[in-house]
Structure 1
Amino acid sequence: MWTINRFPAIWLIPALLPVVLMTLYPVGYALWTSLHEVMILFPGEPFVGLENYRRVVASNYFQDALRNSLVFTALAAPSVVVIGTLIALFLQHGFFGSQVVRSVVLLPWVLPGAISAVLWVWVFHPSFGMLNGVLRSLGLIDAPIHWLTNPDTALTVVAIAHVWTQIPFAVVLMMAALSTINSETLEAASIDCPNPFKRFRYVIVPEIKSMIVVLLVYNALTAFTSYDLVYAMTGGGPGTATTLLSFQIWRESFSMYDFGAGSAVAFIVVVISAVLIVAITRALPSDLFASE
Structure 2
Amino acid sequence: MWTINRFPGLWLLPALLPVILMTVYPIGHALWTSLHEVMILFPGEPFVGLRNYGRVVASNYFQDALRNSLVFTLFAAPSVVILGTLIALFLQRRFFGSHVVRSIVLLPWVLPGAISAVLWVWVFHPSFGILNGIMRDLGLIEDSILWLTNPRTALMAVTFAHVWTQIPFAVVLMMAALSTINSETLEAAAIDCRNPLKRFRYIIFPEIKAMIVVLLVYNALIAFTSYDLVYAMTGGGPGTATTLLSFQIWRESFSMYDFGAGSAVAFIVVVISAALIVAITRALPSDLFAGD
Q: Do these two structures clear the TM 0.5 threshold for a shared fold by scoring above it? A: yes
Which letter does structure 2 place at the counterpart of 1:21?
L
Matched, 1:181 2:176: no
1: CA distance, partners of 2:197 / 2:27: 44
What displacement does 1:217 show?
0.1
Matched, 1:248 2:248: yes
What displacement does 1:289 show?
2.5
Which letter does structure 2 place at the counterpart of 1:223?
A
Residue of structure 1 in register with 2:152 after alignment: 152
Residue of structure 2 in register with 1:126 after alignment: 126
Cα-to-partner distance string for 1:1-58 (whole Å, 9 max, x where unaligned)? 9521211111011111111111111110000000000001111100000000000001
What displacement does 1:109 show?
0.4
Residue of structure 2 in register with 1:271 after alignment: 271
**TM-score for the superposition, normalised by structure 1:** 0.98
How do 1:62-141 and structure 2 match up within 5 A? 62-141=62-141
What displacement does 1:288 show?
2.1
* Greater shift in the superposed pair: 281-290 or 177-186: 281-290
Which letter does structure 2 place at the counterpart of 1:239?
G
Cα-to-partner distance string for 1:104-124 (whole Å, 9 max, x where unaligned)? 111000000000000000000
**TM-score for the superposition, normalised by structure 2:** 0.98
Which letter does structure 2 place at the counterpart of 1:154?
A
Cα-to-partner distance string for 1:256-275 (whole Å, 9 max, x where unaligned)? 00000000000000000000
What displacement does 1:141 show?
1.2
2: CA distance, partners of 1:99 / 1:170: 17
What displacement does 1:163 show?
0.2
2: CA distance, partners of 1:30 / 1:3: 35
Give the count of matched residue pairs.
292
Segments of structure 1 that go 5 or more residues without pairing to the other structure are none
Which letter does structure 2 place at the counterpart of 1:47?
F
Residue of structure 2 in register with 1:13 after alignment: 13
Identity %: 86
Matched, 1:231 2:231: yes
What displacement does 1:291 show?
2.4
Which letter does structure 2 place at the counterpart of 1:174?
M
Report the RMSD for the aligned CA atoms in angstroms.
0.9
1: CA distance, partners of 2:288 / 2:31: 34
Structure 1 runs (4+) greater than 3 angstroms displaced: none
Which letter does structure 1 place at the counterpart of 2:154?
A
Which letter does structure 2 place at the counterpart of 1:40?
I
2: CA distance, partners of 1:116 / 1:265: 27
1: CA distance, partners of 2:47 / 2:99: 58
Cα-to-partner distance string for 1:56-114 (whole Å, 9 max, x where unaligned)? 00111011000000000001000000000000000000111000111111100000000
Matched, 1:48 2:48: yes
Secondary structure, in 3 states, of the residue corresponding to 1:251?
A: helix
Cα-to-partner distance string for 1:189-233 (whole Å, 9 max, x where unaligned)? 111111111001111001100000000000000000000011000
2: CA distance, partners of 1:162 / 1:141: 25
Residue of structure 1 in register with 2:190 after alignment: 190
2: CA distance, partners of 1:58 / 1:97: 56
Secondary structure, in 3 states, of the residue corresponding to 2:163?
A: helix
What displacement does 1:181 show?
0.5
Residue of structure 1 in register with 2:60 after alignment: 60
Cα-to-partner distance string for 1:131-170 (whole Å, 9 max, x where unaligned)? 0111111121111110000000000100000000000000
